[in-house]
């Protein structure tokens, strides 16, 4: 799953989410603007920057990591100090390292440990957020971390929960996140399991679901057409074998590349062929 993009969108949509994760009053989020800034030297980009409107509040620089990465802290610190050098903010700053699970976090070196101990770097492990929650943002994170076995029930519960939301924009936004998680996180689920996740009426109206249905129908039609073509080609090859005794691999290859219309024309032309040379001449004219 493209977690960088997904968490950027989560932070953007749920402005209080970072503050929930670091256990600070969600009211503090009202004093921040969210963005993402690219660091030019190596094209580093934070997963989220929460910029305070007031100068007496710290900047929060957030980075999400879902896979074990030994050099995570060295790269994170490089991003932080390149950002501070390029943008020269006047506010204080804190960095938030968000790991999917504890085993995704590498052991910090002595310098990083000093920053962690001082509170300059805050560490978050998303797997610790297992309790039932009223936060839609954290509920989406729980769905992201869910196993394939857990995901269908969690997706349905979240969809039912958000159905009661009176803010239609927020409801649609949550549904879009449910879609994104199911599409990117669980691509190996069976057709029945995927359909079970989309039993909610709001989900069935969404763009991703409609596109998935349309794609499935088109794939079914395409498979049906392909199977029909293969049967038609097999019948023609049997007829040609009976007529001429043998069909060379080269001729078989050329016939397999004919269009539906050309195959229909060949089915009629077979009766006029007297020798294999007539067949070859006909195929040459189709090029």
| pLDDT of 208 higher than 80 | no
Residue 154's nearest CA partner among 174, 140, 165, 166 is 140
What pLDDT, on the 0 to 100 scale, is given for residue 156?
A: 83
Read off the pTM.
0.62
271-280 long-range Cβ contacts below 8 angstroms, 24+ apart: 273/243, 273/244, 275/244, 276/244, 276/251, 279/240, 279/244, 279/251, 280/251
What pLDDT, on the 0 to 100 scale, is given for residue 173?
A: 82
Rounded Cα distance, 285 and 287, in Å: 6
| pLDDT of 51 higher than 70 | yes
| pLDDT of 214 higher than 70 | no
Q: How confident is the model at residue 69 (pLDDT cuts 50, 70, 90)?
A: very high
Residue 174 Cα distances to 104, 117, 202, 212, angstroms: 27, 36, 11, 18
Instruction: Tell me the residue length of the chain.
Output: 287
User: Average pLDDT of 103-123?
Assistant: 94
User: Average pLDDT of 63-92?
Assistant: 92
Q: Is 274 exposed, middle or buried (0-12, 13-18, 19+ CB in 10 A)?
A: exposed
pLDDT tens per residue across span 223-233: 556 666 777 78
| pLDDT of 52 higher than 90 | yes
Rounded Cα distance, 1 and 182, in Å: 10
More confident residue, 220 or 164: 164
Three-state SS annotation for the chain: CCHHHHHHHHHHHCCCHHHHHCCCCHHHHHHEEEECCEECCCCEECCEEEEECCCCCCEEEEEEECCCCCCHHHHHHHHHHHHHHHHCCCCCEEEEEEECCHHHCCCCCHHHHHHHHCCCEEEEEHHHCCCCCCCHHHHHHHHHHCCCCCHHHHHHHHHHHHHCCCCHHHHHHHHHHHHHHHHHHCCCCCHHHHHHHCCCHHHHCCHHHHHHHHHHHHHHHHHHHHHHHHHHHHHHHHHHHHHHCCCCHHHHHHHHCCCHHHHHHHHHHHHHCCCHHHHHHHHHHCC
At residue 242, what are phi and psi to the nearest 5 degrees? -65, -35
Write out the two tokens for 132: 């039932």
| pLDDT of 39 higher than 60 | no
Q: How far is CA 82 from its chain centroid?
A: 29
Give the residue carrying structure tokens 């062929």: 273
What pLDDT, on the 0 to 100 scale, is given for residue 41?
A: 47
| pLDDT of 96 higher than 70 | yes
**Domain 1-128 = CATH 2.40.128:** no
């Amino acid at each position: 799953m493209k977690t960088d993009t997904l968490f950027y969108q989560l932070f953007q949509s749920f402005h209080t989410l970072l503050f929930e994760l670091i256990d600070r009053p969600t009211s503090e989020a009202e004093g921040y603007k969210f963005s993402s800034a690219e660091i030019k030297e190596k094209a580093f980009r934070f997963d989220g920057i929460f910029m305070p409107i007031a100068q007496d509040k710290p900047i929060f620089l957030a980075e999400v990591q879902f896979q074990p990465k030994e050099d995570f802290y060295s790269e994170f610190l490089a991003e932080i100090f390149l950002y501070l050098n390029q943008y020269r903010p006047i506010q204080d700053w804190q960095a938030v390292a968000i790991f999917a699970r504890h085993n995704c976090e590498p052991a910090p070196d002595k310098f990083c440990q000093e920053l962690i101990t001082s509170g300059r770097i805050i560490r978050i492990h998303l797997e610790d957020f297992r309790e039932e929650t009223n936060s839609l943002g954290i509920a989406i994170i729980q769905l992201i971390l869910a196993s394939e076995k857990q995901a269908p029930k969690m997706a349905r519960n979240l969809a039912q929960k958000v159905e009661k939301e009176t803010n239609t924009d927020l409801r649609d936004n949550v549904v879009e996140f449910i879609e994104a998680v199911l599409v990117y996180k669980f691509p190996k689920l069976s057709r029945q399991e995927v359909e079970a996740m989309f039993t909610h009426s709001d989900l069935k109206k969404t763009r991703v679901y409609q596109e998935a249905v349309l794609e499935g129908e088109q794939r079914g039609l395409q498979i049906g057409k392909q199977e029909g073509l293969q049967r038609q080609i097999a019948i023609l090859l049997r007829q040609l074998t009976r007529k001429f005794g043998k069909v060379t691999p080269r001729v078989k290859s050329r016939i397999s590349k004919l269009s539906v219309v050309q195959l229909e024309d060949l089915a009629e032309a077979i009766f006029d062929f007297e020798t294999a040379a007539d067949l070859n001449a006909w195929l040459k004219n189709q090029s």
